[in-house]
Chains A and B, each alone.
Chain A
Amino acid sequence: MIPIEVYLIFAAVLFAIGAYGVAVKSNTIVVLMCIELMLNAANINFIVFSAFTTDVLGQVFVIMSISVAAAEVAVGIAILLNAYKIKNTIEADSLTSMRW
């Protein structure tokens, strides 16, 4: 049986990749995808702990989380579409008008 540490390290690496992408990527579609990566890293942790403790509550949580993530992506894509209509670009560096 694969030990739990492997799963956890995998999830941590996935999260780190997502975080790195959010921090450095300028394409907002990629940023959104990276956010999904981080979310799924958390989901993996839920499932792993659920499986190793034989408690189904974790898996229920993941179902919930996936449906919320779907809604969130829909909203995110909608915002990006509108931003593209106005600015003609979705580069994160050019979307800086919401400041002082």
Chain B
Amino acid sequence: MFIEYTWLVPLVPVLCFVAIGFLGKKMPEGGGPLAVFGALFACVLSVLISYEFFTSSAYADPGYVTAQITWFSIGSFDINIGYYIDSLSCLVMMFASFISTLIFVYSIGYMHGEGAKKRRYYAQVSLFLTGMLGLAISSNFLEMFVFWEAMGLCSYLLIGFWGFDHPKGDDATDVAASAAKKAFLVTRLGDVCLMGGMFVLLYEFGSLDYAAVFDASAMAAVDPSMIMLGSLLIFGGVIGKSAQFPLLDWLPDAMAGPTTVSALIHAATMVKAGVFLVARCFPLFTQNPEVMLFVGVIGGITAFFAATMALNNMNIKKVLAYSTLSQLGYMFLALGAGGYMMALGMQTHDHHLMAIGAIGYTAGCLHMVNHAFFKALLFLGSGSVIHSTGTEDMREMGGLHGKMKITSITMLIGSLSIAGFPFFSGFWSKELVLETVMHAGDYGAEGYLFTIMWILAIVTAFMTAFYMFRMWFMTFKGKPGHGTEHCHGESPKSMTVPLIILAPFAAALGAILLFGFDEYVTIGINHVGEFQLGSGHGHGLEGWLEDIFMSIYTYLTIALVLAAIGIAYFMYSKMSVDPGKLNKNGSSMIYRALSNRWWFPQLYDQIGWKLGNGVARGVEFVDTQVVDGTVNALSSAVAGSGDSIGKMQTGNMRDYAAVVMFGIVSLFAVMLVLFYFMGGA
């Protein structure tokens, strides 16, 4: 009843995009309310679709509903367009549209002073939401890729929103424009990989439909090494989109855009697309344990490196950007570790191992949802702070708690959640992630890599708690700075209300999802040997509590988190410990490494200059010398010979007559000679 209308979910926001794009100037607030309506419509419809799907018989078997029409055909390949609803699409659809609705409402307050540019902003964010929703319901890889690219385009446009006329002057304009370019080009690098992966799949499976590719018998018939190649290429696209190591550097730069855009990119859309794709391709990726090992290791390294970079950053938004990278790393680590165990379990037909592996999937997906809520809350909160203080530098904040109580308390909730403070959302999913990774270390020949990743992840959990509370204490406690004096009190209602709505979700959603709905976020092999999302057996409240609290390592993490919060308190709130002593007032090697982002930008530049320039020079040489040379030589040879032969055309009739006669005489001579020698008549 509602599922048939799934196509409306991305269609309504895209219609809003068109309407705002053309008519936004005449609408109130540049079309903001229409954008909110589009997102809200998508949200309500997503909830209805999800409810209908979860109560339908298709949910139990085969676990998805799909319908499609032929888009175009090339030879024997049919490319379809349609929708594919399973528990993962429902999950992504619901949280993306819900959070986007709140962000759009918040934007009305935050972007109020932007004047005519608001039309552009609301049109683009509507398209951005379309991209994410379309991605979630796509029924095949090519359709997914179209929406994937739409998001890439919107991220470029929105990060560079102030690129033409930045409120903070020309330098900031340059920064915004180059950040937008960087985001576009870096993600483009991944997209090329993703395209390559799609070609591999199309070649091997003859179809790009999820239902056809994830079919167990189809996967069994295909050469595993080709599946591995396809999976790795697809993951290359994910690395670009979700800003994983080594393509992680665009996301911190993307902070040049408006804060609401950052919230949108980090919480609801864009970077979550990568996590979604890995979860979506779980059946494919688990065909090879090595692929999942790679996913997990990339995630673990990203989680660790990004967290270190957040430790000493002074920009409130950049700290949050690094924390996003780090949390995304957690998600990939969980998916990788879970998938690794699942893949090993499938090879050895070990159902116990597969069940443990499935927890990794659950952990990754739950962390994705939890992260969406607390990161949206944190970004919107930081936006509220920036809005009222006029600065992003945390050294100029401080002591804001008294002036902005709502922002302060909601951000505290978000920080507690992301730090993994016990019983907040982030705690549950993070514990599951850590537990999965720890288990993965016990299996397989390369399992020890996961043990290393587990240690990194625990250190990351400590660092996360530290930098999040460093941020909170520096902003809301401690000595007031210039920005605090400039602060004119709490932000308008349209900004605080979304914060107040998001706060309980960020605090409690993790527990509700884990204890009440865990069976919807599982993956397993059903009775016909196919992968199936959802309708697994939930562990239930006691199962999970036992899982989490029977492990001694849980208490280790809790202790580390509490210690980190304590250190942050003494350093930045009570000021009894001077952080300057630890880093020799910013001159120690490691401090400089961190503030230079481990020299990643320089590395990119070096690669760009040395490699890119070298390749370009080589290509230029081939182009100007070899290609052009061949063509020029050919043409001048033709022209030259034509010129010289043309001289024979004297126009003098007697010359022609002489030539003709000479020809005839020679012909006769040749024939005579031939007759003479061949003995003809």
Q: Please give the residue numbers on chain A whose beta carbons come within 8 Å of chain B beta carbons, in ascending order.
A: 19, 22-26, 28, 31, 92-93, 95-100
Q: How far is the CA of A93 from the CA of B650 in the complex (A)?
A: 10
Q: Which 4 A-B pairs give the minimum distances between C-beta atoms?
A: A99-B651, A96-B651, A99-B649, A22-B657
* A19-B661, A23-B661 known; A92-B654 Cβ under 8 A: yes
Find B651's partner among A19, A25, A31, A97 (CB 8 Å cutoff): A97
12 contacts between A and B (CB under 8 A): A22-B661, A23-B658, A24-B654, A25-B654, A28-B653, A92-B652, A93-B654, A95-B653, A96-B650, A98-B651, A99-B650, A100-B649
Q: How far is the CA of A98 from the CA of B655 in the complex (A)?
A: 13
Q: A98 — which chain B residues lie within 8 A by C-beta?
A: 651
Q: How far is the CA of A93 from the CA of B657 in the complex (A)?
A: 13
Main secondary structure of the interface of B (DSSP, over half): helix
Q: How many Å from the CB of B659 to the closest CB on chain A?
A: 10
Q: Are A100 and B646 in contact, CB atoms less than 8 angstroms apart?
A: yes
Q: Which of B646, B653, B658, B661 is the most central at the interface, judged by chain A CB atoms within 10 Å of its CB?
A: B653
Q: B661 — which chain A residues lie within 8 A by C-beta?
A: 19, 22-23
Q: Are B646 and A93 in contact, CB atoms less than 8 angstroms apart?
A: no
Find B652's partner among A19, A25, A96, A100 (CB 8 Å cutoff): A96
Tell me the residues in window 631-681 of chain B with beta carbons closer than 8 Å to chain A beta carbons: 646, 649-654, 657-658, 661
Q: How far is the CA of A97 from the CA of B650 in the complex (A)?
A: 9
Number of A-B contacts (CB under 8 A): 31
Q: Are A92 and B653 in contact, CB atoms less than 8 angstroms apart?
A: yes
Q: B651 — which chain A residues lie within 8 A by C-beta?
A: 95-99
Give the residue name and chain of the B residue nearest to A96 (CB): B651
Q: Please give the residue numbers on chain B whose beta carbons come within 8 Å of chain A beta carbons, in ascending order.
A: 646, 649-654, 657-658, 661
Q: How far is the CA of A95 from the CA of B651 in the complex (A)?
A: 8
Find A22's partner among B649, B652, B654 (CB 8 Å cutoff): B654
Q: B652 — which chain A residues lie within 8 A by C-beta?
A: 92-93, 96
Q: How far is the CA of A3 from the CA of B186 in the complex (A)?
A: 100
Q: How many Å from the CB of B651 to the closest CB on chain A?
A: 3
Q: How far is the CA of A22 from the CA of B654 in the complex (A)?
A: 7
Q: How far is the CA of A26 from the CA of B654 in the complex (A)?
A: 8
Q: How many Å from the CB of A83 to the closest CB on chain B?
A: 11
Q: How far is the CA of A28 from the CA of B650 in the complex (A)?
A: 17
Q: How many Å from the CB of B663 to the closest CB on chain A?
A: 13
Q: How far is the CA of A27 from the CA of B373 in the complex (A)?
A: 104
Q: How many Å from the CB of A19 to the closest CB on chain B?
A: 6
Give the residue name and chain of the B residue nearest to A20 (CB): B661
Q: How many Å from the CB of B382 to the closest CB on chain A?
A: 79
Q: Are B649 and A23 in contact, CB atoms less than 8 angstroms apart?
A: no
Q: B657 — which chain A residues lie within 8 A by C-beta?
A: 22-23
Q: How many Å from the CB of A46 to the closest CB on chain B?
A: 19
Q: B646 — which chain A residues lie within 8 A by C-beta?
A: 100
Q: How far is the CA of A25 from the CA of B654 in the complex (A)?
A: 8
Q: A23 — which chain B residues lie within 8 A by C-beta?
A: 654, 657-658, 661
Q: B653 — which chain A residues lie within 8 A by C-beta?
A: 28, 31, 92, 95
Q: How many Å from the CB of B648 to the closest CB on chain A?
A: 10
Q: How far is the CA of A60 from the CA of B356 in the complex (A)?
A: 109
Give the residue name and chain of the A residue nearest to B647 (CB): A100
Q: How many Å from the CB of B603 to the closest CB on chain A?
A: 63
Q: B650 — which chain A residues lie within 8 A by C-beta?
A: 96, 99
Q: How far is the CA of A22 from the CA of B661 in the complex (A)?
A: 10
